[in-house]
């Protein structure tokens, strides 16, 4: 596979790799490093690339595993889940502050979710993968993906309701 063929295959989903890395690792710099590392690993495997059924799924799996390895390593003791891709320049300042506060609360709630539920919620609701793709990426059955997503959404919903109803009876 030539360099231009590689770029044509990989570049369309490069941002998804970054967003997944950003979801799992705190800083933009860490996510950029992880994405770069994955792209280099993909290039090293470019001769085998044509044998993969779904290069994007393979790359997402590589990214997930790489980031989880980073989180488990000693050097990552200060890394955690953070993600926010919400911005709307046309809304008022108050609306923007409220939206950022809501996103911040959702992020905090997501930090407390079990790892599998975090991943399913990220892949389904942010990256917009379908259930079969998520099942393949996370090596789960589609029904297990649906259950994990349902539980994650329920937890987020309940905790947001608790936060917003605080002091109201």
Place of tokens 């892949």: 123
Place of tokens 């570049």: 11
Given a contact cutoff of 8 angstroms between Cβ atoms, the answer to whether 99 and 22 are in contact is no
Q: Where are the beta strands (DSSP E) in the chain?
A: none
Task: Spell out the domains of the chain, with CATH numbers in brackets.
Answer: 1-82 (1.10.1740.10), 91-169 (1.10.10.10)
Residues 135-164 as b or e (16 or more Cβ within 10 Å = b): bbbbebeeebbbebbebbeebbeebeeeee
Please tell me the predicted confidence (pLDDT) of residue 168.
Answer: 55
48-93 confidence digits (pLDDT tens): 888 888 888 889 989 988 888 887 774 445 444 444 444 445 556 7
Q: 18-32, 42-56, 92-106: which has the minimum mean pLDDT?
A: 92-106
* Higher pLDDT pick, 81 / 125: 125
């Amino acid at each position: 596979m030539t360099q231009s063929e590689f770029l044509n295959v990989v570049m369309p989903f490069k941002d998804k790799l970054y967003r997944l890395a950003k979801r799992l690792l705190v800083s933009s710099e860490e996510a950029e490093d992880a994405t770069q590392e994955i792209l280099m690993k993909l290039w090293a495997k470019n001769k085998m690339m044509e044998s993969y059924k779904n290069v994007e799924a393979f790359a997402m799996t590589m990214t997930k595993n790489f980031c989880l390895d980073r989180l488990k390593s000693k050097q990552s003791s200060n890394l955690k889940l953070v993600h926010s891709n919400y911005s709307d320049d046309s809304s008022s300042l108050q609306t923007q502050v409220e939206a950022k506060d809501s996103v911040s609360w959702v992020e905090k709630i997501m930090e407390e979710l079990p790892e599998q539920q975090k991943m399913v919620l990220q892949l389904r609701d942010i990256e917009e993968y379908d259930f079969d793709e998520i099942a393949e990426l996370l090596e789960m059955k589609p029904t297990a993906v649906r259950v994990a997503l349902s539980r994650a959404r329920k937890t987020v919903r309940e905790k947001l309701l608790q936060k917003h109803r605080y002091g109201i009876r």
